[in-house]
Structure 1
Amino acid sequence: MEEQLLKVETDKRDTAVVLRAEGEVDSYTAELLRDELSEAFGEGLPIVLDVSGVEFFASAGLSVLVEFHLRGEERGTPFRLVSPRGSVLRALKATTLTETLELYLDVDAALDA
């Protein structure tokens, strides 16, 4: 049995859709993240993506983040990223996406924004 490399849980709230990602985001799993975010954007609520459980984040994941950041800007839907650290934070800093994306320390802060 193959181990699932990425798990994404969705929690629809009154004021936002919160997604929690755990595992690895790479060229094999980025499509799952894209699908989950696309479905969440269909709700018409702000999107909060918690990546505190992501251990590895490749360029394919960065592409997904940029795609949904732009989608959020076009639709007027906030897209907030929570707890980027480790490889996620390194990738965001290396590409200067830390200056573009809305970053928060925890889900509550992102929901209050």
Structure 2
Amino acid sequence: MDALRLSTVRCDGTVTVTVAGELDIATTGHLRAHVAHALANGRWSRLVLDVSGVSFIGADGLGVMIALQRLAHSQHTALYLAGVTPNLLRLLKITHLEGHFRCAGP
């Protein structure tokens, strides 16, 4: 099991949360709480989830990503994904969620 590691950087109206490890039923609550706390501490125009270090994502991981998008939207913050791996992109396509998320530029 690859433990979930989270870090946050705030700069110029953007809060970036870097996610590494497994995103599954055991870790999604931690991610949700971390992002909620990050969003609560300021007014942000963008939330970037850097998922380049995610080694596994289950159905609960996809669910929390959708929930985080709704949370961000409720706070007038746009959610972007960064570091989308080929495996995650494939999963998003299989689940018809590839058009649901915006990707951050390089």
Task: Calculate the TM-score normalised by the size of structure 2.
Answer: 0.86
Letter in 2 for 1:34: R
Aligned positions of 1:74-89 closer than 5 A: 74-89=74-89
Give the structure 2 partner of residue 36 of structure 1.
34
Deviations 1:3-44 (A, max 9, x none): 761100111113211111111101111111111111122122
Structure 2: runs of 5 or more not aligned: none
Give the structure 2 partner of residue 60 of structure 1.
60
1-side partners of 2:72 and 2:27: how far apart?
22
Letter in 2 for 1:55: S
* Backbone CA RMSD of aligned residues: 1.7
Distance 1:78 1:7, change over 3 A: same
Structure 1: runs of 5 or more not aligned: 107-113
1-side partners of 2:105 and 2:91: how far apart?
17
Aligned sequence identity (%): 29
Give the structure 2 partner of residue 110 of structure 1.
none
Asked if the contact 1:7–1:22 (Cα under 8 Å) also holds between the matched residues in 2, the reply is yes
2-side partners of 1:8 and 1:75: how far apart?
21
Q: What is the aligned residue count?
A: 104
Asked if the contact 1:58–1:91 (Cα under 8 Å) also holds between the matched residues in 2, the reply is no
2-side partners of 1:75 and 1:94: how far apart?
29
Deviations 1:86-111 (A, max 9, x none): 432222112221101111353xxxxx
Aligned structure 1 segments of 4 or more residues deviating by more than 4 angstroms: none
2-side partners of 1:105 and 1:61: how far apart?
22
